[in-house]
Amino acid sequence: MNGLYMNNIYKSFGTVNVLNGVNFDVRQGEVHALLGMNGAGKSTLMNILAGVLSPDNGTIAIDGKEYRFSSPADAKKAGIGLVVQEVDTALFPSLSVYENIAADEIVATKQKPILSWKQQKQRAAELLRRVGLSISPNKLIR
């Protein structure tokens, strides 16, 4: 079974049940949108998938392998990343595009990485190209 499967996901905050047995699956090549009112649980579900929150119950499987993420770094190792709507709160405005991309890598590793800034610029340029952005990796975020 290729794809991502979230089965019977439950999450409560105190006495407030936010997710009550949610099922969500995405197969390779599919694109989905989660729509709903404020407070419907969309962000909570995605934060569980991204390792920010732990579910009270339920399973997450990717390509048939079950996961229980204890951090965003764990989720990232499994190929899961979350880009939030309020992306400006997650960026360093005084740093360049490539430095912001490298910062994510630094945070995700438990040991101090040895970075080649030249390689980081090349990597950022490739990532920008892949998503169709024609901006310089040297451009400051601000």
Identify whether residues 59 and 107 lie together within a single domain: no
The proportion of the chain whose per-residue pLDDT surpasses 70, expressed as a percent, equals 90
Q: Are residue 72 and residue 92 in the same domain, yes or no? A: no
At 84 the pLDDT is 72
Query: If you average pLDDT over every residue of the chain, what do you get?
Result: 88
The boundaries of the domain holding residue 64 are 4-77
Is 73 in the same domain as 101? no
- Kindly state whether residues 71 and 34 are assigned to the same domain: yes
SS3 string of the chain?
Answer: CCCEEEEEEEEEECCEEEEEEEEEEECCCCCCCCCCCCCCCHHHHHHHHCCCCCCCEEEEEECCEEECCCCHHHHHHCCCCCCCCCHHHHCCCCCEHHHHHHHHHHHHCCCCCCCCHHHHHHHHHHHHHHCCCCCCCCCECC
pTM of model > 0.85: no
Residue 135 located in a structural domain: no
